[in-house]
A and B are shown apart, each in its own frame.
Chain A
């Protein structure tokens, strides 16, 4: 990597973390557990989400270990079924859905819009407690023996044919769902009602737009999942219900209700990550995002279209051919805004002044891997090819590319980008760049072979498989080991940086957002005085003028 960097740190011999900040304002466990400060809540979320990510990751490790051999060698088939179910449940509901919104979003959105906090701080705290309760219920489920329905809870398997802990898992996700709804509700209200004077919609950072779109999905889609889970739980307790054909119910109804949420859910997961990429690409190219309006509107378009494509998860399930046609067409429409974003980000680089700090490396990884993941989504949205590829490892590879190669990379990009603002300290650049590269390599080795496995026909959720698939599986597991290293490193060096990292100062990246114009870590009340927004988003010329004005002031003094 070139030695050029945009990092501008204060003089380390004299710089100190500001004594009064949101971390030091009050001490004691209760001040954290009863806080209304969005930044503290974001920190609580960050710790809990990381905890669950590593549990989910450990389960992934177990999956890949089992798949080293064609037979079930490491664990019984039942255990394997529980392992991949818990991996899916934890990763989707306890990690991906809240990851960027509840951590980075909670932390940064009030700062970005120029507010002192989110609109409803108590609801924000409640949201975290609901998340923790859901987490405990999931841990209870695991300790009590696990659940093996698959994260998709397909009925009638989940309602009548399994005697594992479906009810506790269903209720856990119900609770987690409300955690998500409250986060989304808070964001929408904040963005509508609490923008600083002068902060018009089109002066908002694109991170805000993306989270706004994701919040619409959270608020409108999650309740449907909630009621579906209630019906599943009722069916299991009462032994009669709307999803069981033996009683006149319809298992396809479950599919419709489940995917009505779970498809928008994937956009809930990816949109905030796309928001991070907008911020990072802009900052490290020193340029406003190319086609701001297009990127903003494409976020909303993804949210809106995202509600109309759910049955593309059901193409082979006996829905009418004409219904399949409609959903396939709509799926093509929803793919286009994502493509628009990728090109806009790429063109943000044009005539920019680019440096390659860690957040930017992750952002590049995102752009490449999400392109692959997104394109393979089109393979699956096309009815003809979906017949062959669905329910195989092609699907597994597709969603891991968009979620892990996409979303998780965006999350890491965002964590590194806002780390100086959050903690007041810089992370160590060299090792973090190394970790980013290791993650990228490990990821490709793990998941690219799975596309091939899927095309060959290897079904998903198989504990044992025909021997001819072994070579690719071994390759994939080897990659997973590398990927694990890539994810462990940040935990280590980020923790290290809390004590030994360089003092960051207000604006180490020389970025333009409002959050960078205040101290690091921020005050509890965010701004001493509510700022007035008098410039466009990503206005680097404004930033230069600010810096010059400050230098002149310092000279005068």
Chain B
């Protein structure tokens, strides 16, 4: 891109988006994908031109009136090799280039800001960790990697932001992720692109990109009062999770402090990383995800908690590594009816010492 004058490039992009051949480029990855797309269009045009020239050219040169006697030709190994190797080479270039893009888009960076999205027939529910809830809209700041953790409550949906050139399926039963970094403030289309029933075409919305300052103001103005983690904490207590998952030494379940992204050994012997997907599975299908050293007595919460509820719980558990959160954990432990013979744990204990996770 260095040798295309930036002015010319901008003009091209502006002209093309004005005449609407491409959606606006509003994310960091968009121009990169467009570059690959341009390359492919170019290759296709060249290929098509060659084919058309051959057909038209030969048709004129060798029409019956001009060339009444056909010459029988068996073939040509050289030509076969040429038009096997060159297309293959071009396709492989596209493959590698595309694969690099694909890995980029579907491998969120560690510092990405996470936003949860629940798709259901026929709306998108967007949950910001700070407690802002949106329906069919997504507000994000520029200049910051944003990761979406998607799930569907019913059927397949697909979260598509053409201006960012990203799209990801929201699947019932597990999380999927995608990330992007918005570059230009504005409002862009949000579509559901996986056919999901009657109002599939109504499952659309707006992605509102704001400058970081505007975004901060929006966050403050739109909060529901509780962050997702706080919602999760409430749910944790109301579902009596803290009956087993607490910081008592004789607790029946592993303590969840600092468990997010730690390595766990399960009762089957395998070692896994306790990421979002694992936490969700542990809540909904606990009998297959028993930490080593604990009895398989956790009941399943399938059917008792919605996907948003699970998200709130996951968000809560993710944050159980700050003192503030631990404080609150200890507070809710106080609310739990006492276990037979046990007493409420004292407050103020440091969390690190409570790690009962086996290496």
Contact = CB atoms under 8 A, between A and B. Distances in A.
Nearest to B191: A459
Interface in B60-92: 62-65, 67-76, 79-80, 83-84, 87-88, 91-92
Contact of A316 (B58, B103, B168, B172): B168
Contacts of A540: 70, 72
Interface residues of B, number: 86
A183 interface: no
A325 B75 contact: no
Of listed B65, B83, B100, B171, residue having the most chain A CB within 10 A: B83
A250 to B, nearest CB: 7
Interface string B16-37: 0000111100000000010011
Interface stretch (B199-207, B246-254, B350-358): B199-207
Contacts of B75: 290-294, 344
A235 B88 CA distance: 43
A97 to B, nearest CB: 22
Interface stretch (B154-162, B235-243, B256-264): B154-162
A457 B22 CA distance: 8
B17 to A, nearest CB: 9
A4 B64 contact: yes
Contacts of A379: 37, 40, 44
A382 interface: yes
B47 interface: yes
B20 A462 contact: no
Nearest to B37: A385
A368 B191 contact: no
Interface centre among B54, B64, B100, B199 (most CB of A within 10 A): B64
A382 B55 contact: no
B98 A351 contact: no
Interface in A82-129: none
A346 B71 contact: no
Contacts of A328: 95, 98-99, 102
A161 B121 contact: yes
A455 B22 contact: yes
Contacts of B160: 391-392, 457, 459
Nearest to B92: A332
Interface stretch (A210-218, A333-341, A419-427, A495-503): A333-341
Contact of A287 (B33, B54, B70, B100): B70
B154 A391 contact: no
Interface stretch (A18-26, A35-43, A191-199, A463-471): A463-471
B55 A464 contact: no
Interface residues of A, number: 94
Which of A288, A291, A368, A465 lies at the interface centre, i.e. has the most chain B CB atoms within 10 A of its CB? A291
B198 interface: yes
Contacts of B70: 285-287, 351-353, 540
Nearest to B45: A375
A317 interface: yes
A2 B72 CA distance: 23
Nearest to B164: A388
B196 interface: yes
B326 interface: no
Contacts of B22: 455-456
Contacts of A515: none
Contacts of A252: 171
Contacts of A344: 75, 80
A460 interface: yes
B23 A457 contact: yes
A318 B65 contact: no
A343 interface: yes
B280 to A, nearest CB: 12
Contacts of B33: 384-385, 387-388
Nearest to A346: B54
Nearest to A453: B20
A294 B40 CA distance: 26
Interface in B154-197: 154-156, 158, 160, 162-163, 165-169, 171-174, 176, 189, 191-197
B44 A372 contact: yes
Contacts of A391: 158, 160, 167, 193-194
A279 interface: no
A335 B93 CA distance: 14
B97 interface: yes
Interface in A538-557: 540-541
B283 to A, nearest CB: 14
- The winner among B58, B71, B74, B98 for most chain A CB atoms within 10 A is B98
B151 to A, nearest CB: 10
A349 B59 contact: yes
Interface in B300-353: 302
A497 B192 CA distance: 50
Given A375-B44, A384-B102, A336 B88 contact: yes
A83 to B, nearest CB: 13
B106 interface: yes
B308 to A, nearest CB: 16
B195 A452 contact: no
Contacts of B192: 459
Given A81-B198, A385-B37, A465-B201, A317 B169 contact: yes
Contacts of A290: 73-76
A71 to B, nearest CB: 10
Contacts of B105: 384, 387
Given A383-B99, A387-B167, A339 B83 contact: yes
Nearest to A338: B87
Contact of A385 (B21, B47, B98): B98
Interface in B100-152: 100-103, 105-107, 121
Nearest to B44: A375
A242 to B, nearest CB: 13
Contacts of A154: 155-156, 194-195
Given A161-B121, A367-B55, A382-B94, A343 B173 contact: no
B64 A386 contact: no
Interface string A135-176: 000000000000010101010110001100000000000000
B47 A455 contact: no
A275 B33 CA distance: 37
A6 B201 CA distance: 53
Contacts of B295: none
22 contacts: A4-B65, A5-B64, A150-B195, A290-B75, A294-B75, A317-B171, A335-B91, A339-B83, A340-B80, A346-B58, A352-B67, A352-B70, A353-B69, A375-B43, A382-B36, A382-B95, A382-B99, A385-B98, A391-B167, A456-B22, A457-B189, A460-B195
Which A-B residue pairs are the 5 nearest by beta carbons? A457-B162, A384-B101, A245-B173, A384-B98, A382-B98
